[in-house]
């Protein structure tokens, strides 16, 4: 009888303990769920900077029936262009001259000696690599005057397009990331206020990738730098 009574009492205590544990676990689950309430927002930072490097490919063409004479003319024209660039403020180490590309129309497969007026044609490339952006942009407008001296420039080809490069991304990254983060928090705070919630700590953050592109077609030397940060904040009542 005593054993039965003891077992009964022990059972009651076990039951009450399980009920209490269940309540505590349920309460903790509710609290955890509330703590897990969050909002994901994006913050943008976008700024304009001048490019600091310009790559300017200059190409001219020649045609002749005399190979030796064509090489002499190539050398003469290349010297004219280089002298022009040096006289206008560029330095020797900013100018590079590549080997000319020569085409012999008679040497082409299936040629029937009908190569037109000239057998040989050549393309000569001179490349400017400089940090003097405004100087180079001025020279790009003035170099056509060399056409009066018999130089035929190629300007419509893809490989003659000028390239402007922004190399100071690491310098501007910290400020832009900070700005994007502030903007994201402003958005999150507005959401929290509208939803009658309190904004908590950051749960998760993703910086995103920086993108650099020209401001527009007419100003490729002005670059837009852009970054979007994605941040998730905890919310509480």
Structure pTM?
A: 0.76
In angstroms, rounded to a whole number, what is the distance separating the alpha carbons of residues 24 and 19? 9
In angstroms, rounded to a whole number, what is the distance separating the alpha carbons of residues 64 and 73? 10
Helices (H), the chain: 2-35, 67-87, 133-142, 169-194
The full set of domain ranges for the chain reads: 1-36, 37-52+166-237, 53-164
Q: What pLDDT, on a 0 to 100 scale, did the predictor assign at position 236?
A: 86
Burial 211-229 (b: 16+ CB within 10 A, else e): eeeeeeeeebbbbebbbbb
Per CATH, the number for 53-164 is 3.30.70.2970
In angstroms, rounded to a whole number, what is the distance separating the alpha carbons of residues 135 and 141? 10
User: Would you state the CATH architecture of domain 37-52+166-237?
Assistant: 2-Layer Sandwich (3.30)
Q: What pLDDT, on a 0 to 100 scale, did the predictor assign at position 50?
A: 96
Q: Examine domains 37-52+166-237 and 53-164 and report if their fold is the same.
A: no
CA-based max dimension of the chain: 127
Q: What is the pLDDT along the chain (237 residues), one digit of tens a residue?
A: 545 555 555 556 555 555 444 444 334 333 444 556 888 999 999 999 999 999 999 999 999 999 999 999 999 999 999 999 999 999 999 999 999 999 988 876 565 666 678 899 999 999 999 999 999 999 999 998 998 888 999 887 777 899 999 999 999 999 999 999 999 999 999 999 998 889 999 999 988 889 999 999 999 999 999 999 999 999 987
- How many residues are listed for the chain in this entry? 237
CB 90 within 8 Å of CB 130 = yes
In angstroms, rounded to a whole number, what is the distance separating the alpha carbons of residues 217 and 183? 29
Q: What pLDDT, on a 0 to 100 scale, did the predictor assign at position 219?
A: 94
């Amino acid at each position: 009888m005593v054993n039965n009574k003891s077992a009964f009492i022990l059972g009651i205590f076990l039951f009450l303990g399980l009920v209490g544990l269940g309540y505590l676990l349920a309460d903790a689950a509710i609290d955890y769920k509330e703590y897990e309430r969050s909002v994901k927002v994006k913050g943008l930072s976008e700024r304009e900077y001048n490019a600091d490097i310009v790559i300017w490919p200059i190409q001219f063409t020649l045609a002749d029936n005399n190979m030796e004479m064509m090489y002499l003319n190539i050398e003469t024209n290349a010297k004219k262009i280089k002298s022009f660039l040096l006289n206008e403020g560029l330095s020797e180490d900013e100018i590079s001259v590549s080997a000319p590309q020569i085409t012999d129309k008679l040497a082409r497969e299936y040629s029937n000696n009908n190569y037109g007026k000239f057998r040989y044609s050549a393309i000569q490339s001179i490349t400017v690599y400089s940090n003097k952006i405004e100087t180079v942009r001025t020279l790009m407008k003035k170099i056509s005057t060399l056409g009066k001296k018999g130089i035929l420039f190629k300007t419509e080809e893809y490989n003659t397009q000028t390239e402007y490069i922004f190399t100071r991304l690491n310098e501007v990254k910290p400020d832009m990331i900070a700005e994007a983060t502030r903007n994201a928090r402003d958005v999150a705070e507005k959401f929290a206020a509208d939803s009658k919630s309190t904004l908590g700590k950051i749960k998760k953050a993703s910086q995103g990738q920086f993108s650099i592109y020209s401001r527009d077609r007419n100003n490729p030397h002005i670059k837009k730098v852009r970054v979007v940060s994605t941040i998730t904040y905890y919310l509480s009542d």
